[in-house]
Amino acid sequence: MTDPRGERGECAECGARGCEELFHGLLALDHSRAEPWGPLHGVSVSCFLLQHPGRLPADGGAAARGLLGAYLDGGQPAVERLIGRARAANSHRVKGGAVPGGAAQGPAVRPGREAPRGGFAVTIEQVAQGGTFPAAGFPERVRAWAAATLEVWGPHSG
């Protein structure tokens, strides 16, 4: 079995050291629903998934890219609107599925193009700042993480 980490213990997908452990620590903070971590849960998970293409869901990361694009374009209120539309589309009252203006249209991984691996200017390692995800500056670090993630993935459609 091949070790997915490089010589220095870096993740072969995102380039961070200890990303798996850091992600579990961040999830624990997210699930506390406390500020500033809880409200940014969807953004953080989207960044992590897009920086780990081996974990992408069946949509190839389209929903994650749509969420990050909404966040960068309109902040947390835009994310909340997007999530609200997704919940409405998932309702048993909606026939036919999609709600206009919902998540990103089309696949995130375009035909003939592989998901990027590495090359991210900001990873969970920088967001963690020593593994503790301090509250001070956390939203700014997550915004930088989202921007760095989409920069490597290419332009998003918002």
pLDDT per residue, tens digit, the chain (158 aa), is 334 444 457 999 999 999 999 999 999 999 888 999 999 999 999 999 999 988 988 888 999 999 999 999 999 999 889 888 878 887 666 555 444 444 444 445 543 456 677 789 999 999 999 999 999 999 999 999 999 999 998 765 44
Give the separation between CA 30 and CA 34, rounded to whole angstroms: 7
Encode 114-147: b = buried (16+ Cβ within 10 Å), e = exposed: ebbbeebebbbbebbeeeebeeeebbebbbbbbe
Which amino acid would we find at residue 48?
A: F
Cβ burial, residue 9 (10 Å; 0-12/13-18/19+): exposed
Let me know: does 153 contact 116? Beta carbons within 8 Å: yes
CA end-to-end distance (rounded Å), the chain: 40
Give the separation between CA 155 and CA 1, rounded to whole angstroms: 35
- Paired strand residues for 17: 10
